A and B are shown apart, each in its own frame.
Chain A
């Protein structure tokens, strides 16, 4: 049978590195197809080619076996390809009916007529929602059903969902999967981007795993297990020599959390000692970010106890735009934001330059001009500025979240080296990362995040794979 939608040899390059290199994926009628991959593996770029947001450099997109050009989202919609974005595209002030029929309503209409039409459409798409309700009153799960109905109403035969359960409660997720299953049975095709292995095993008929822009696994559900998926996700091949650093840390306790909980995570018990580097591995969206931000002090815990040092907390964020830097401020000013760096409440330009110079030199910010805005630096140099601010003063506690996200290899290596150096210098470090190689390289101790909780795990690839598979299987069962 001809696939409904087929990606054939799709290639795409942004700048130097290929984001996609010859990706094949066929989406059959009546199929839920899971698309997996780490951050930066190319999932988003791939689906964007299908909805007309990214134009591939090479390869072809086939709808019903015929090559089509999809220059913009409207063209994709004409071919029946619809997408439910992670961030909804509904107008919160409008009603369900208005949102649903926004594109197809006649020039003039009465409210009653519109709602009547909407009711019929919702019935047709199997969604039970009151068409007169305003979208802002809907629960997140209900909004998602409305998004799906909207895509179907516009003639969608292929539905692409980008991490749809990231925002859902478990019961809502189950309702969503029932809905997807009904669509599948009705002969539509669903492409499901997800980070969660348990969902894949639960609902998908086929699985494709991307790694660094290439398909590393394409198989039927029956032929994969959580273990093989993890293996494919994080790169199989030979087990690296264990990166464990032997003896358990015996330093003083720097941070202690007891049954700590907050939105997205918990309860978490955690103890960090000086001189140890603890890694939190696991795919995005399992509460790691929220936990780290709570430990930093950016969020208030909802429950539990937290003891942390009063000063000397370094925070290395992978989000250089919102949390890492003030991009319009100069490099020197960004470094000077470290508490205690400027001795007096006021300073001269010369004093500022002198205060930040040692840190900039030590972290090799290879720029002569500390007065240029941080925005003008490359990503790697920006992260060096973050390190220069956060690590130069020998912190007692280092908290990091995806510290090398979006960095090239060289810069990533430097960041990891500096994190280890801080630990060697007596700091306790807690690093959450979705990059398993990074986790294995850095960890003295490893925890795996799953649904907001942390599970201890040996520092080895197989142990992590086994733990993740076990957790996924447990959750799917």
Chain B
């Protein structure tokens, strides 16, 4: 049952989506075909989808890391934003992408460390703390791009564009397009996260501690500090996502930088059932939904259709959670019946 949860979720999502499209007066067949065309139907569409998938993947890995430690990091959005801001500053200062990426990761690390400390040392629910800090990060960004970090002309609410040397190297994928260094980096980090969780002592103890903290504490291992560190490392991944977005795609920071990537990441991590390697297809799916609906809007001139990606994401999350809890309920009943 648990194994089929994803399939079940996909099918029920597709069913509801078709109904919704119908209600909106769109021919469902044509709309879905357009969605497909615009996301994975051509090399250019693939490139666009992959560009969106990279920061999503990094953020999803970040929240996943916390989730696997038994902590709820809903703050990838804020961690991404501060990461982007820090990387713009570092890119301007050093003129190279490497320090920009590092600065982004560090900012995300620190932005996540705060709620981790608040949660594990002061009992402040980390869901609340990370969520609130998202708002703080967004306001911080708004203030910075209209104040201290505004571009020199002072006309637009955005930062200066990063120097050319700070742009992420591009890797040629096909004749028609290329992706930046962020993609292999994100894939490598997904593999590293999978390895760290499944094949290292620390990962083993973190996973055990998520379920039975006292068991791990009794061995004398500093579980609390390890959880804080893992949580903050998750923030570093989200911060890195912001840096990749800035140095690889946007070139500058403005208010529209993220648009909810950090929240979609939570959904992607859940869809992947918290398995780092499954985050790859999950992030790809959500990215495809976003680019597909975007191109649909462009082609069909349907205002608001881009929001349809959000609707689909929401449906996917609900369906996954429902099918997972169905599976969990059944497992519990089976265990009780034994």
Q: Is A323 an interface residue (CB 8 A)?
A: yes
CB distance from A330 to the nearest CB of B (A): 10
Q: Could you tell me the distance between the alpha carbons of A334 and B201 in the complex, rounded to whole angstroms?
A: 11
Q: Could you tell me the distance between the alpha carbons of A346 and B192 in the complex, rounded to whole angstroms?
A: 12
Q: Could you tell me the distance between the alpha carbons of A174 and B211 in the complex, rounded to whole angstroms?
A: 39
Given A329-B207, A337-B208, also A324-B215 (CB < 8 A):
yes
Give 1 or 0 for each of A329-350: 1 = CB within 8 Å of chain B CB.
Answer: 1000110111100100111110
Given A345-B201, A347-B199, also A327-B218 (CB < 8 A):
no
Which residues of the other chain, B, contact A333 by a CB distance below 8 angstroms? 204, 207-208
Instruction: Point out the residue from B212, B217, B335 that lies within 8 Å of A325, measured CB to CB.
Output: B212
Give 1 or 0 for each of A362-388: 1 = CB within 8 Å of chain B CB.
Answer: 000000000000011000000000000
Which residues of the other chain, A, contact B218 by a CB distance below 8 angstroms? 296-298, 315, 323
Q: Is A322 an interface residue (CB 8 A)?
A: yes
Q: Could you tell me the distance between the alpha carbons of A349 and B199 in the complex, rounded to whole angstroms?
A: 7
Judging by beta carbons under 8 Å apart, are B199 and A337 in contact? no
CB distance from B69 to the nearest CB of A (A): 13
Q: Is B195 an interface residue (CB 8 A)?
A: yes
Judging by beta carbons under 8 Å apart, are B207 and A326 in contact? yes
Given A297-B220, A334-B208, A346-B195, also A326-B215 (CB < 8 A):
yes
Judging by beta carbons under 8 Å apart, are A348 and B220 in contact? no
Q: Is A130 an interface residue (CB 8 A)?
A: no
Closest to B212 in A: A326
Q: Is A178 an interface residue (CB 8 A)?
A: no
Q: Is A137 an interface residue (CB 8 A)?
A: no
Which residues of the other chain, B, contact A336 by a CB distance below 8 angstroms? 201, 204
Judging by beta carbons under 8 Å apart, are A339 and B215 in contact? no
Closest to A347 in B: B199
Which residues of the other chain, B, contact A338 by a CB distance below 8 angstroms? 219
CB distance from A307 to the nearest CB of B (A): 16
Closest to A341 in B: B201
Q: Could you tell me the distance between the alpha carbons of A321 and B208 in the complex, rounded to whole angstroms?
A: 12
Instruction: Point out the residue from B200, B216, B221 that lies within 8 Å of A345, measured CB to CB.
Output: B200
Q: Could you tell me the distance between the alpha carbons of A347 and B217 in the complex, rounded to whole angstroms?
A: 22
Q: Could you tell me the distance between the alpha carbons of A296 and B211 in the complex, rounded to whole angstroms?
A: 19
Q: Is B205 an interface residue (CB 8 A)?
A: yes
Give 1 or 0 for each of B191-203: 1 = CB within 8 Å of chain A CB.
Answer: 0000100011110
Which residues of the other chain, A, contact B219 by a CB distance below 8 angstroms? 337-339
Most buried by B among A323, A334, A338: A323
Which residues of the other chain, B, contact A324 by a CB distance below 8 angstroms? 212, 215
CB distance from B338 to the nearest CB of A (A): 8
Q: Could you tell me the distance between the alpha carbons of A349 and B200 in the complex, rounded to whole angstroms?
A: 10
Which residues of the other chain, A, contact B217 by a CB distance below 8 angstroms? 297-298
Judging by beta carbons under 8 Å apart, are B215 and A325 in contact? yes
Which residues of the other chain, B, contact A311 by a CB distance below 8 angstroms? 220
CB distance from A436 to the nearest CB of B (A): 26
Judging by beta carbons under 8 Å apart, are A346 and B208 in contact? no
- Residues 184-238 of B at the A interface (beta carbon under 8 Å): 195, 199-202, 204-205, 207-209, 211-212, 214-221
Which residues of the other chain, B, contact A298 by a CB distance below 8 angstroms? 214, 217-218
Judging by beta carbons under 8 Å apart, are A322 and B212 in contact? yes
Instruction: Point out the residue from B199, B205, B221 that lies within 8 Å of A346, measured CB to CB.
Output: B199
Which residues of the other chain, A, contact B207 by a CB distance below 8 angstroms? 326, 329, 333
Q: Is A271 an interface residue (CB 8 A)?
A: no
Instruction: Point out the residue from B199, B202, B211, B221 that lies within 8 Å of A329, measured CB to CB.
Output: B211
Judging by beta carbons under 8 Å apart, are A322 and B214 in contact? yes
Closest to A310 in B: B220
CB distance from A141 to the nearest CB of B (A): 25
- Residues 245-294 of A at the B interface (beta carbon under 8 Å): none
Which residues of the other chain, B, contact A315 by a CB distance below 8 angstroms? 218
CB distance from A374 to the nearest CB of B (A): 10
Chain A residues at the B interface, C-beta cutoff of 8 Å = 296-298, 311, 313, 315, 321-329, 333-334, 336-339, 342, 345-349, 375-376
> What 4 A-B pairs are tightest by C-beta distance, nearest first?
A326-B208, A326-B211, A346-B200, A326-B212
The 16 listed contacts between A and B (C-beta, < 8 Å) are: A297-B217, A297-B218, A297-B220, A311-B220, A313-B220, A321-B212, A324-B212, A325-B212, A326-B207, A326-B211, A337-B205, A339-B220, A339-B221, A345-B201, A348-B199, A376-B335
Given contact pairs A336-B204, A337-B215, A347-B200, a sample of 9 additional A-B residue pairs in the complex whose CB atoms are under 8 Å apart:
A297-B220, A298-B217, A322-B214, A323-B218, A325-B215, A345-B201, A347-B199, A347-B201, A349-B199
